[in-house]
Amino acid sequence: MTIDNIIITGNVSEVLNDILNKENYSKIAVLVDENTLAHCYPLIKSNLPQHTLIQIKSGEINKTLNTCTHVWQELTDQSFDRKSLFINLGGGVIGDLGGFCAGTYKRGIDFINLPTTLLSQVDASVGGKLGIDFNGFKNHIGLFQEPKNVLIDLNFLKTLPEQELRSGFAEILKHHLIADRTGWEGLKHKTFEAMDWTTSVPHSVQIKHKIVTEDPHESGLRKALNFGHTIGHGIESYLLNSGRAILHGEAVAAGIICEAYLSYKRELITEEELNDITQFIQSIYEKINLSDLDREEVCNYLMQDKKNRDNNILAVLLNGIGSVVWDQSLDRQESLDSLVFYDKL
């Protein structure tokens, strides 16, 4: 299946080779971490023309400027010029950071995303949001720039740990809640084990692609994709910076419960809809334990959310299932209340 520059294939190596044969890149770099080097690189290696491997350490904790410096240094040492190509072979951390490095090196060189996690296949590789964390704030420094191509191959998922699959599933769930009411009605009765990635990956890619095509730079509609992320990023950032890191999707799942609760409090969804969402998420994700003090700390992080304006926290809430409203002003007490609701589940 192909949507614009996104190709879903069962043979990523061949498709990549075809693309490279049509271009005349001066040099090629492939960015990996230790896991994608071991599990994903073997799937593309034999068909790749001469290239340089650049390796970084895995994990959100390394999505930082220091890691970028290492990448830019390698490109510079090996005289990569503006006709070079950068290939991101990995999950969302590799895609966000590698895309940021490529998009800024000599003011930008082409890059191709080969997403290897469920989360990056259904979300992070699509839409050109690139960046790194700074001073502990998520994606604080970055830019919008589209990859030349996104090549999605479900074969990569065969080696992905189950916890990572569950994390990626949170973004699939988000896509249903913000844009597909009918799909949610079917999904909510399923177990995680019954999920079929061959249908749900293209479905999610279609939803995300449609939104980012309409509003690439997040002036309005694209904020829908941030549902669950106001509180979710607060939880993720706080726990990362206090040495208790959890996965992005795990934080987003908790954020979805909190923001669904806020939607219910504003009478935007019914109690039954809220219950369906919380029960479904509770059946898939372990509860994140947050003390009173932790919840206060999480709320401090909300002040740096990129959707804010004039020091107002502006969240995205559900407006019925399958639809959202954005720029919804949120005060600290409401945010705390939503975290208390989550805690009491």
Ligand X SMILES: NC(=O)c1ccc[n+]([C@@H]2O[C@H](COP(=O)([O-])OP(=O)(O)OC[C@H]3O[C@@H](n4cnc5c(N)ncnc54)[C@H](O)[C@@H]3O)[C@@H](O)[C@H]2O)c1
Ligand Y SMILES: O=C(O)C(=O)C[C@@H](O)[C@H](O)[C@H](O)COP(=O)(O)O
160 binds, among ligand X, ligand Y, none (CB under 5 to 8 A by kind): ligand X
Q: Would you say 73 or 135 has its CB closer to ligand Y?
A: 135
| Residue 144 beta carbon to ligand X: minimum distance, rounded to whole angstroms | 10
| Residue 118 beta carbon to ligand X: minimum distance, rounded to whole angstroms | 8
258 binds, among ligand Y, ligand X, none (CB under 5 to 8 A by kind): none
Cβ 162 vs Cβ 243: under 8 Å? no
| Residue 75 beta carbon to ligand X: minimum distance, rounded to whole angstroms | 20
**CA 208 to CA 202: how far, in whole Å?**
10
| Residue 252 beta carbon to ligand X: minimum distance, rounded to whole angstroms | 8
Q: Would you say 78 or 213 has its CB closer to ligand Y?
A: 213
What are the backbone angles phi and psi of residue 229, rounded to the nearest 5°? -95, -15
Q: Where are the alpha helices (DSSP H) in the chain?
A: 12-22, 34-39, 41-44, 65-77, 92-104, 118-119, 162-179, 181-187, 197-214, 229-241, 248-265, 271-282, 292-302, 332-344
Structure tokens at 241: 């910076």
Helix 229-241 with 292-302: angle, nearest 10 deg: 120
What letter represents residue 42's amino acid?
A: P
**CA 64 to CA 138: how far, in whole Å?**
10
| Residue 221 beta carbon to ligand Y: minimum distance, rounded to whole angstroms | 10
| Residue 123 beta carbon to ligand Y: minimum distance, rounded to whole angstroms | 5
Interface with ligand Y, residue 306, by CB under 6 A: yes
**CA 13 to CA 280: how far, in whole Å?**
37
Name 143's bridge partners. Answer: 130
Q: What does the binding site for ligand X look like in residue numbers (CB under 6 A)? A: 33, 35-36, 39-40, 58-60, 63, 90-94, 96, 116-117, 119-120, 123-124, 127, 129, 138-139, 156, 159-160, 164, 167-168, 248
In the region spanning residues 203 to 222, those forming contacts with ligand Y, defined by CB under 6 A, are 218, 222
- Window of 16-24, 97-105, 121-129, 278-286 that interacts with ligand Y by CB under 6 A: 121-129
**CA 249 to CA 118: how far, in whole Å?**
10
Cβ 221 vs Cβ 208: under 8 Å? no
Tally Cβ neighbours within 10 Å of residue 297: 18
147 binds, among ligand Y, ligand X, none (CB under 5 to 8 A by kind): none
Q: Would you say 43 or 258 has its CB closer to ligand X?
A: 43
Query: What residues contact residue 186 under an 8 Å CB cut-off, 6+ apart?
Result: none
| Residue 335 beta carbon to ligand X: minimum distance, rounded to whole angstroms | 20
Task: Tell me which residue has its CB nearest to ligand Y.
Answer: 139
Kindly tell me which residue out of 129, 166, 175, 176 binds ligand Y, with binding defined by CB under 6 A: 129
Cβ 255 vs Cβ 233: under 8 Å? yes
Cβ 80 vs Cβ 105: under 8 Å? yes
Kindly tell me which residue out of 95, 127, 234, 255 binds ligand Y, with binding defined by CB under 6 A: 127
230 binds, among ligand Y, ligand X, none (CB under 5 to 8 A by kind): none
Kindly tell me which residue out of 27, 175, 229, 295 binds ligand Y, with binding defined by CB under 6 A: 229
Interface with ligand Y, residue 171, by CB under 6 A: yes
Binding site for ligand Y (CB under 6 A): 123, 127, 129, 138-139, 171, 218, 222, 225-226, 229, 233, 306
